[in-house]
Amino acid sequence: MEKNSDYVQLVTQAQLGDKESLNRLAEGVRERLYTYVYRYTLSDELTEDIVQESILKMLEVLNELKEADRFWPWLFKIALSKIFGHRRAEHMRKTIPKPAAGLGDVQRQRQTAIANVVGQELKEIVFTAMQKLKPEHRAVINMRCYDEMGYAEIAKTIGCSEFAAQMLFYRAKKSLKKQLSRRGFGKGSLLMALVLFGKITAPSEAAAAKVSVMANAVKVGVPATLAAIAVSKTALLSLTTASVLTVGTMMATSAFDGTTKLPKSKSPGSLPVIGQVEPASDSIQECWYYYPPNGNGALMMRSESNLDSMQSYSQWLQNDQSNYYRRKNTIYVENYRIWHSDLTVWRLPTDSRQLTDFLFQVEGKSEEMRYVPHRAGGLVVVVKQDQNGNHSQITHRRDISDEEYFRYKWPAGAKVVDKRDTMHKRGWTYFNITGRIDEKEVRGRGRIPFIYSAIDRHWPWVVLKVGETIVNEGNFAGLFRPWMGLHTIDTVRRDAAEKRIWFETRYNKRSKKAEVVLKPEDGKIVYTIDMEKDVIVKIEFSTSDERKGELGFSYLQEIDNTGSEFAEPGRQVSLPERSEGMLWLLRLVQGKLGQEQ
Whole-number pLDDT of residue 277: 38
Alpha-carbon distance values, 268 to 85, 226, 264, 441 (Å): 51, 28, 10, 50
Kindly tell me if the per-residue pLDDT of 176 is higher than 60: yes
User: What distance in Å separates the CA atoms of residue 236 and residue 322, rounded to the nearest whole number?
Assistant: 26
Query: 257-270, pLDDT tens digit by residue?
Result: 333 333 333 333 33
Type and span of the H or E element at 551:
strand 548-555
User: What distance in Å separates the CA atoms of residue 204 and residue 112, rounded to the nearest whole number?
Assistant: 10
C-alpha 476, offset from chain centre = 27
User: What distance in Å separates the CA atoms of residue 159 and residue 342, rounded to the nearest whole number?
Assistant: 43
- Max mean pLDDT range (73-77, 106-110, 283-287): 73-77
Mean pLDDT of the chain: 75
Confidence of residue 83 (pLDDT cuts 50, 70, 90): confident
Average pLDDT over residues 207-229: 61
59 CB contacts (<8 Å, ≥6 apart)?
22, 26
Give the largest Cα separation in the chain, rounded.
100
Confidence of residue 513 (pLDDT cuts 50, 70, 90): very high
Average pLDDT over residues 538-558: 91
Whole-number pLDDT of residue 506: 94
Confidence of residue 91 (pLDDT cuts 50, 70, 90): low
Sign (positive/negative) of CA torsion 565, 568, 570, 573?
A: positive
Whole-number pLDDT of residue 196: 79
Confidence of residue 522 (pLDDT cuts 50, 70, 90): confident
**Residues 144, 224 contacting (CB under 8 angstroms):** no
Average pLDDT over residues 13-21: 81
Query: 402-429, pLDDT tens digit by residue?
Result: 555 455 556 677 888 999 999 999 999 9
Selected residue with higher pLDDT from 499 and 186: 499
**DSSP code for 577:** -
Whole-number pLDDT of residue 313: 55
Query: 139-167, pLDDT tens digit by residue?
Result: 888 888 888 888 888 888 877 777 778 87
Whole-number pLDDT of residue 215: 60
Residue type, 542: S
**Residues 535, 557 contacting (CB under 8 angstroms):** no
User: What distance in Å separates the CA atoms of residue 37 and residue 127, rounded to the nearest whole number?
Assistant: 15
% of the chain surpassing 90 pLDDT: 20
Confidence of residue 276 (pLDDT cuts 50, 70, 90): very low
Whole-number pLDDT of residue 381: 87
User: What distance in Å separates the CA atoms of residue 553 and residue 533, rounded to the nearest whole number?
Assistant: 12
The sheet that has 313-318: what strands, in order across it? 391-396, 379-385, 284-291, 300-306, 313-318, 323-327, 330-334, 415-418
Alpha-carbon distance values, 213 to 34, 111, 128, 197, 500 (Å): 20, 19, 19, 10, 61
Q: Smallest Cα–Cα separation from 500: which of 379, 376, 360?
A: 360
Kindly tell me if the per-residue pLDDT of 246 is higher than 50: no
Whole-number pLDDT of residue 187: 56
Average pLDDT over residues 125-146: 85
Kindly tell me if the per-residue pLDDT of 310 is higher than 80: no
Average pLDDT over residues 4-27: 80
Whole-number pLDDT of residue 90: 65
Q: Which domains does the chain have, with CATH numbers?
A: 1-99 (1.10.1740.10), 115-220 (1.10.10.10), 246-418 (no CATH), 424-589 (2.50.20)
- Max mean pLDDT range (467-476, 554-563, 567-576): 554-563
What stretches of 389-453 adopt beta strand conformation (E)? Answer: 391-396, 415-418, 428-437, 440-449
Selected residue with higher pLDDT from 227 and 152: 152
Confidence of residue 233 (pLDDT cuts 50, 70, 90): very low
Kindly tell me if the per-residue pLDDT of 370 is higher than 50: yes
Confidence of residue 102 (pLDDT cuts 50, 70, 90): low
Confidence of residue 1 (pLDDT cuts 50, 70, 90): very low
Kindly tell me if the per-residue pLDDT of 229 is higher than 70: no
Confidence of residue 214 (pLDDT cuts 50, 70, 90): low
